[in-house]
Amino acid sequence: MSSPIDDLFSLPVSFLDNAPGEIALSTRIRLARNLAGLPFPNAASQEEKCDICDKITAAVNDGHILDFGKKHREFDLAQLSDIDRNVLLERRLASAEFIAPPLEGKRLLVCPLERCSIMVNEEDQIRMQSIRPGFQLQEVYEEINAIDDALSEQLEFAFDNQLGFLTSCPTNAGTGMRASVMLHLPALVLSGQILPTIQGINKLHLAVRGIFGEGTDNRGNLFQISNQYTLGESEAKTIASLDAVITQLILHEKQARKNLLQRDRFTLLDNIGRAYGILRHSYKLSSAETLQSLSFVRMGVDMGFFASIDIKAVNELFIAIGSAHLQKSAGRSLSDTERDISRAELCRQKLK
């Protein structure tokens, strides 16, 4: 009988179901919540964490909050292997902090299509999220807001009339909301415009992070843009501000691609052609080199240079070439060299 992690692993990553030409890969909103009258994870004993975990899970089950027509999946982190926990990280269902020891009292609840999930006892007792492909801020907000409302009918959240929702880290207090959009910006990088663009974004009090969030780099020319402040701003204002900035960034990237095609066509084609050659003909590939090459091939597909390459196959490779996914596919732990060989083989197969 297959396990919940095996069932999950067999599915395509739902938030990468993009069409060609989309600059925004995905939209995600997370909400941080804690239960009234109970210690937050950083102050709770192991026994208290387990009790809190069971209480939150029971509320989700009783309200069928994540079922969406089919029973949701549950993962007790302490019962998962290191590879399986990292699979959850690579699929953006769990954070690096969440999969790190201690693991007792940590549980991940995932809806059938991975679109919505809840981390129990990460930095806060509840970290719920909704994630969808493309640029869908309003749709994602409505979905996560409905989950938040359903949970609040089952549980009493720690809330202050002046401060809003109370969280372990003061920077998350207030709305407790982190909204982010993952953008693919290779033309801005190639044209040398990305640094001033990031500096301008930071001045607007937005954060720029890598594919796996805080502390990660922008491999694959993937940039996660999110709000920095949660205190003193409404959810609607945060969504509107982020929406306006993302809309402008998408326009800038599209214009940068047009400019490269008109003014520096052969540099553009050379980068795309070399990237395709690396992915199609290499027998050892590091994660960094693969992500960079996938980025340029994806831009080539977006711009119509590869009629025979499916954008979904390229998108899925961004996740499938991760170390945990490669080892999960192999059914065993792989050395660094074995991973590089498997990664190259996978790319050759997918891009035939």
- Please identify, among 256, 277, 295, the residue that sits at the C-terminal boundary of a domain: 256
Are 18 and 70 part of one and the same domain? yes
pLDDT tens per residue across all 352 residues of the chain: 467 788 888 888 888 877 667 899 999 999 999 999 999 999 999 999 999 999 999 999 999 999 988 899 999 999 999 999 999 999 999 999 999 999 999 999 999 989 999 999 999 999 999 999 999 999 999 999 999 999 999 999 999 999 999 999 998 999 999 999 999 999 999 999 999 999 999 999 899 987 655 555 677 899 999 998 898 889 999 999 999 999 999 999 999 999 999 999 999 999 999 999 999 999 999 999 999 999 999 999 999 999 889 888 899 999 999 999 999 999 999 999 999 999 999 999 999 8
The pLDDT of residue 209 is: 86
Q: Beta-carbon neighbour count of residue 283 at 10 Å?
A: 9
The pLDDT of residue 289 is: 96
CATH code at position 153: 3.30.590.10
Instruction: For residues 280 and 36, give the distance between their C-alpha atoms in angstroms, rounded to a whole number.
Output: 55
The pLDDT of residue 310 is: 87
**Tens digits of residue pLDDT in 222-272:** 999 999 889 888 999 999 999 999 999 999 999 999 999 999 999 999 999
Are 183 and 307 part of one and the same domain? no
Are 74 and 146 part of one and the same domain? yes
- Please identify, among 221, 256, 291, the residue that sits at the C-terminal boundary of a domain: 256
The pLDDT of residue 2 is: 61
Tally of CA atoms within 13 A in the half-sphere of 290 that contains its CB: 30
The pLDDT of residue 147 is: 97
Number of structural domains in the chain: 2
The residue range of the domain holding 175 is 4-256
Are 20 and 104 part of one and the same domain? yes
- Please identify, among 218, 234, 256, the residue that sits at the C-terminal boundary of a domain: 256
Does the reported pTM lie above 0.75? yes
The pLDDT of residue 329 is: 96
The pLDDT of residue 9 is: 87
Are 52 and 163 part of one and the same domain? yes
Q: Name every residue whose Cβ is closer than 8 Å to that of residue 11 and which is 6 or more positions away in sequence.
A: 113, 114
Are 199 and 313 part of one and the same domain? no
Are 130 and 162 part of one and the same domain? yes
Are 218 and 304 part of one and the same domain? no
Are 13 and 103 part of one and the same domain? yes
